Amino acid sequence: MIKITCISEVQYEIKAVKENNKSFITNFYLEIDKMKTWIKDGELYKIRIGSTVFFLKKDAEFSFLFYSSSSFEALGDSLSILNSKINNIFFVIDIIGKEPNILLLVSLFKQHGFYLYTSLTRMSRLTDVSKHQKPIHKITNADSSQIKVIINLLHKYFDPLAEQLPTYKEINNWIKLNQILIIEVKEEIAGLVIFDLIGVTSYLRYWFVNPNYRNRKIGSSLLSSFFIKSAKTKRQLFWVIRTNENAIKRYMHYDFQEENLYDYILTNKNIQYETENN
């Protein structure tokens, strides 16, 4: 396993496995800024096995696994070697795509020592300003004094394997951009939404109501505020855990539709997402 020190190393590895092969497959999406941060923080590693290069993004307790391979068959061969070579790292892998194609990849990973942890579905809707409702609660922007509280809430109520919890730096950045909205009750955060606005698209990253404050329309107030903030975008989208039927029903109530785009999360430990996390 070799630590990556610059972005061109990533590009050369991808070039090497891709060369002269049109059935190239990967789950390593090209978010250059994010990748540069990982490299700068010493978190990105590579392992080259045959015609596959694996990239590992180290987290505190596990490593996100990415692959770029010259073909489906080559990936299978490399996975069997990866498992025999490295059995002391807790891998988490996201396989994103449309069904039924993606199921072949999921099956390949299962054949080579990976287990399905959970899966997410992407939902989206096109903006309909006429349906925006005013929130009934007072909504404010989170400020930097609340970063630690927000981190604690996310770590307590969200799943780090399935929901890619943000770093201190990312939360601070959202706060600077006024992209964390909160409702406070007695100086406690009763609920929050975190979102990104990128041109015509807004991404709902986290929508959360503290269990102590549920059934008070806090969630709908937060979502209304998110829609108002997204009024200039053309679509809103987010990922939700597929077994979270209550959340999916709520989103459908707000005109979100599933896109037939799924994220299967697998690990090399036989553990499963706990639905009570919802």
Partner 1 sequence: MKQKIINILNEIRPEFEFTSGIDFISAGMLDSFDVLTLVNELEEKFGISIDGLDIVPENFCTIESIVGIINKNE
Least distance from partner 1 to the Cβ atom of residue 230, Å: 11
Least distance from partner 1 to the Cβ atom of residue 125, Å: 10
Residue burial 243-263, b: 16+ Cβ < 10 Å; e: rest: ebeebbebbeebebeeeebbb
Which residue number, 2 or 200, has a Cβ lying nearer to partner 1? Answer: 200
Which residue number, 122 or 269, has a Cβ lying nearer to partner 1? Answer: 122
Which residue number, 20 or 145, has a Cβ lying nearer to partner 1? Answer: 20
- d(CA 205, CA 173) in angstroms, rounded, equals 14
- d(CA 274, CA 278) in angstroms, rounded, equals 8
Least distance from partner 1 to the Cβ atom of residue 240, Å: 16
Which residue number, 203 or 251, has a Cβ lying nearer to partner 1? Answer: 203
Contact (Cβ atoms closer than 8 angstroms) between residue 125 and residue 236: yes
Least distance from partner 1 to the Cβ atom of residue 14, Å: 4
Closest by CA to 118, choosing from 158, 60, 167, is 158
Least distance from partner 1 to the Cβ atom of residue 95, Å: 12
- d(CA 208, CA 222) in angstroms, rounded, equals 9
Least distance from partner 1 to the Cβ atom of residue 4, Å: 15
Contact (Cβ atoms closer than 8 angstroms) between residue 26 and residue 69: yes
Which residue number, 39 or 197, has a Cβ lying nearer to partner 1? Answer: 197
3-state secondary structure of 146: helix
Which residue number, 213 or 264, has a Cβ lying nearer to partner 1? Answer: 264
Least distance from partner 1 to the Cβ atom of residue 34, Å: 9
What pairing do the DSSP bridges indicate for beta strands 25-26 and 63-69? antiparallel
Least distance from partner 1 to the Cβ atom of residue 232, Å: 11
Residues ≥6 apart with Cβ < 8 Å to 241: 118, 119, 120, 162, 163, 247, 273, 278
Closest by CA to 51, choosing from 94, 86, 16, is 16
3-state secondary structure of 266: strand
- d(CA 244, CA 241) in angstroms, rounded, equals 5
- d(CA 69, CA 79) in angstroms, rounded, equals 10
Tell me which residues touch partner 1 (CB under 8 A): 11-12, 14-22, 26, 29-32, 68, 96, 126, 197-202, 233-235, 261
Which residue number, 99 or 143, has a Cβ lying nearer to partner 1? Answer: 99
Which residue number, 197 or 247, has a Cβ lying nearer to partner 1? Answer: 197
